[in-house]
């Protein structure tokens, strides 16, 4: 039963990353513009811009955590079999 809960969390993390993490989509995903700005030296970035970057990046952090949990549990279940 625990495995299903983690899989549903993984699905939610994927959905959040694709929607909240990338929105707004036009003309390019917002997070990509922020990453380019930071890679270019982050000149002129105010605290609000950093906060905005963290809010758009948070779903990807959650997705990474959920993927790690999924792969770890998969490896553990293969060892016990």
The two tokens of residue 74 are 């998969």
Contact of 12 with 65, CB cutoff 8 Å: no
SS3 assignment, position 46: coil
For position 80, what pLDDT does the model report? 78
Q: What is the pLDDT of residues 39-58, one digit of tens each?
A: 999 999 999 999 999 999 99
Nearest residue to 20 via CA among 9, 28, 31, 11? 31
Under the banding of pLDDT at 50, 70 and 90, the label for residue 14 is very high
Contact of 63 with 19, CB cutoff 8 Å: no
How many structural domains is the chain composed of? 1
Cα separation of 54 and 65, whole Å?
A: 16
Q: Note down the domain range covering 55.
A: 2-80
């Amino acid at each position: 039963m625990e495995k299903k809960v983690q899989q549903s969390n993984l699905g939610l993390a994927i959905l959040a990353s694709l929607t909240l993490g990338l929105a707004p989509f036009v003309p390019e995903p917002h997070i990509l513009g922020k990453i380019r700005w930071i890679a270019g030296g982050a000149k002129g970035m105010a605290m609000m811009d950093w906060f905005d970057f963290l809010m758009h990046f948070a779903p990807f952090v959650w997705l990474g955590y959920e993927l790690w949990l999924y792969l770890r549990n998969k490896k553990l279940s293969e060892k016990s079999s």
